[in-house]
Structure 1
Amino acid sequence: MPVPPGGYSWWYIDALSDDKQHGLTIIAFIGSVFSPYYAWSGWRDPENYCAMNVALYRAGRDRWTMTERGRGDLSRSHSSIAIGPSSMHWDGDALKLEIDEWTAPLPSRVRGTVTLRPEAINTQSFALDAGERHHWRPIAPRARVDVRFDGGALDWSGDAYFDSNWGEEPLERGFRSWHWSRAHTHNGTQIYYDVTPRSGADRSLALHFDQAGSATEIDPPQHAQLPNTFWRVPRATRGPAGAAPRLVRTLEDAPFYARSQLIGEINGAPADIMHESLSLDRFRMPIVRAMLPFRMPRIVGRR
């Protein structure tokens, strides 16, 4: 899929270990929507602003890396993408990832493998805006993942989720904010996507994906507020009256973004929930963009 100037594509994975002690997110970006360098360029040449974002979560020992690279470090085909020394490829049965990155600003190596095996594949995509310039496809609403990092020192398995987003314009041009969450249930996956566009009425998606990967629209439960983050980013989710999801842990806390682990109730049964809140009004502030290179260095032509 070509990525036009100002546009973007990303592929996103999240997972929690079976014992709930570990988690991860991995995102491969072309036209990195959170890149200050891409914004400062006037959103020209998205393939020159790519990154493999890797976050490993474990109590007291989180690790996070997002090194941006240029078009010379990007290679992709219909079944694979490589950005610098890290890659993901589809072998027909599983998505296999080879990760070799460094944290910033304090450097430490993050090296390992991830294998994601979908329980079902969804082929349907959804427009997130009225003009249909931004799209989302939950490719594998539910999957199993095997994770091995640091020569086997970090080794776990768990439930996972895999999706993709793409768009024809900068994300901040289309939206002011959004809140998203996914929860695995005994018979599928429930996803809520609430977006506030830059203009026009708010839009909401509430979907249930069955065990075959087919989507059905559902009536969303009522809105529920979560505590603001340290950076005062508002967090909102959805849950049944009297049983709103509870915050277990804030996994990411940035000036414009929060990723959180929640626990809640879906159809009367307890469920682990992955949640994110994004403020693009915050992200487009010059002071916020100026802070990002400390965590998101740019390296071109050097692995």
Structure 2
Amino acid sequence: MRCLLLLALGLAAVAARKELTPHPHQGLSDPYPPGKPETELASKDIQLLRDGKLVQQSFKKGGGAGRALAVQDLHAPPDYVWDRILDFGNYPKMVPKVVKCNNYEVETFRNGTEAIKTRMVMNVFGAKFDNHIYHTYFKSLSSLTWTLDYARRSTLDDSVGYWYVEPCPDKSKQDVQEWSRVYYSCMLRVPKWVPGIVVNFLEKKAVSEANMWLKREAEAKFAKDKVSGQQLGKRGGTGGGVFGGFSLKGAGQHAAAPAAVEEEEDEDEEFTIAGTALGVARKAATFGVGYGAGWFMHARAVRRRSEEE
């Protein structure tokens, strides 16, 4: 029994160290700013939104290069939209290709802004992506932005993204107070080992899927509550998305090997004997090594933004 305990502790320590291995860099893509994007919708775009279609616009950050931005109207108030975006624990049930999600650290500031660290595992045509994501939910700006958590290793070389939700301004809609307008954008850097079929999906299909699942889930929940007379309860989880498919840049030199991703999955599934010890080791490491340079610098920046607001 003692040997088993020592083995469990040893395996837990190895797994914890592996999980907390830092990413090879501290970010290659500029993160998105919170707040409403600086873009205007043409009359043809408004008509597409009224027809229930997805509109794509160019989103310029600080006068720099443009990034694609998706816009969609949802028949659900903003609170319901955020309830679905931030219901992280249910992503495997709601979001296609997400197989595992959990928050491993959440910090809430005085003005309601939240710094959220999330592990999200996706399976895209057999290719596994195990990513650690650093979300910042700016409640006062109705925005969620994200980068990778560079204090931990991720399969993607880099990922930055953005959600913005506002009450629908289209007064032609019946019961317009029941509608929201949602803006979404994401940029990825993928490793060279990713198969072409997966890259093609991320580039052409992922953005539509991201908007489809949100529309489906938010509208269904609102319609159900409206019929039953229930009000929206307190949200159960927090999180965001990692894949957008708008822009992809190959980045093989810092890529994690596929075998390493599968080994982490095996540890989660097979080391059941070490469950308690692994949890303790991870918790201790999270509040120790996890507060490394990447997290400290990012948290300090978020804290400054929070205090200035």
**Per residue, is there more strand in 1 or in 2?**
1
Q: TM-score, normalised by structure 2?
A: 0.29
Query: Whose RCO is larger (CA < 8 A, sep 6+)?
Result: 2
Q: TM-score, normalised by structure 1?
A: 0.30
In our comparison, the structure showing a higher alpha carbon Rg is 2
